[in-house]
Amino acid sequence: MPFIIDVEASGFGRGSYPIEVGFARPDGSVFSCLIRPEPDWEHWDESAEEVHGIPRATLFEQGSSVQEVAKKLNEELEGKTVYTDSWGFDSSWLSLLFYHAGLRQLFRLETLSKLLSEKQIAIWSKVKQQVTTDLNIDRHRAGPDARMLQRTYELTSDS
C-alpha cells in the first residue's frame, strides 16, 4: 500500500495556505494535524470552511506550528514517495509549509493517478463513493480523506 497524503486549506485562491495535513500509512493507520497559521496568513474563504468544517479560531487553539508539522512529516516520510489526488494544490501548500518552517521537504510528492491502471480509473468514482459511505466520512478532513483514498486504491487494485 502506498502512503497517501491530503492537505486541507484556507481556500483555493491566491493567499490560501495549509490548515491541516494528514496521511495514511501503508498499514492503514493515519496521522493528522491542524496547522496554526503564520502571522501573515490572513486569507480565509468561508466556502472552504463549509467544506472542511474547521473554524479559523480552532487552528489557533489546537494547531501545531509549521515547524512542528514539517518536522513530523519529514520524520515519518523521509525518502519516501507520497501520493496525492490533488498534486497541484497539495504540492504548493506543502511547499509553503516547508518554506515557512525553514526546512527542506525530505519526501517526494507524486500524483496518485500515476499508480492507477485504466481498469482502476474506470471504477474509481463508484468505489470511492462506497468507501466514503463505509468510513462514514461527511466532511473533508485530511486524515480521513487520505485513508479513504488509500482504501479506494486498495479495493480497485483487487478488481
Amino acid at 11: G
Cβ atoms within 10 Å of 138's Cβ, excluding its own:
10
CA 60 from centre of chain: 19
For the sheet with 30-34, list strands across it.
30-34, 18-24, 3-9, 81-84, 108-111
Each residue's pLDDT tens digit, 74-126 = 999 999 999 999 999 999 999 999 999 999 999 999 999 999 999 999 999 99
Q: Where are the domains of the chain?
A: 3-157
* pTM, 2 dp: 0.93
CATH superfamily of 3-157: Ribonuclease H-like superfamily/Ribonuclease H (3.30.420.10)
The Cα 70–Cα 74 span in angstroms is 6
**pLDDT tens per residue, range 32-85:** 999 999 999 999 999 889 889 899 999 999 999 999 999 999 999 999 999 999
Separation in Å, CA 144 to CA 41, 128, 152, 156: 25, 12, 12, 18
